[in-house]
Amino acid sequence: MQEGRILAASHDGAYLIRLEGDVRLTLCTTIDDYFQKMFDDPEFVSVWVDLCDAEGIDSTTLGLLAKLALEVEARFGFQPAIYCCDPGINRLLKSMGFQRLFVLYEESCANPDDIDEIPVVHGSEDAVKKKVIEAHRVLMGLSEENRARFKDLMAVLEHG
């Protein structure tokens, strides 16, 4: 699998975030920091997440995406969109309850010319652990299935 990377483009407050390769918790600080910068943009009006070039997405990344959707809904009153061409990732998104958080499109989206890779932000071990815990709490809050799925992991993370 290709190492994960995050690309982004914006135009007049409309944001596109593309996840490529195998996106893991090592990118959680990069993703979370970018979301905060995006929300700080006074012109922010929309966000699309493009997963068509993603080969894998771990639960931490899924939790951060869920956090994104919940914050967009709470602050701006709409659901962001996810575009994904991979049937396996689409099944994963639905199994996590993402159809309640996002407008899901099983197709590719626009490919802007001015999309750039977001520089990787390395967080401390403690900061990354906090983001991993937060991401899994968000996922657990989506459904009883997710609560059961991540209960043991959270016990290790919170007490280990």
Which H, E and C letters describe the chain, residue by residue? CCECEEEEEEECCEEEEEEEEEECHHHHHHHHHHHHHHHHCCCCCEEEEECCCEEEECHHHHHHHHHHHHHHHHHHCCCCEEECCCHHHHHHHHHCCHHHCCEEECCCCCCCCCCEECCCCCCCHHHHHHHHHHHHHHHHCCCHHHHHHHHHHHHHHHHC
The reported pLDDT for the residue numbered 83 is: 96
- CATH number, domain of 78, equals 3.30.750.24
**More confidently predicted of 1 and 47:** 47
Domain holding 147, by residue range, is 5-159
- pLDDT tier for residue 160 given thresholds of 50, 70 and 90: low
Average pLDDT, the chain: 94
The pTM score is 0.94
Mean pLDDT for the stretch of residues 126-132? 92
Instruction: Provide the pLDDT for residue 112.
Output: 76
User: What total number of domains does the chain contain?
Assistant: 1
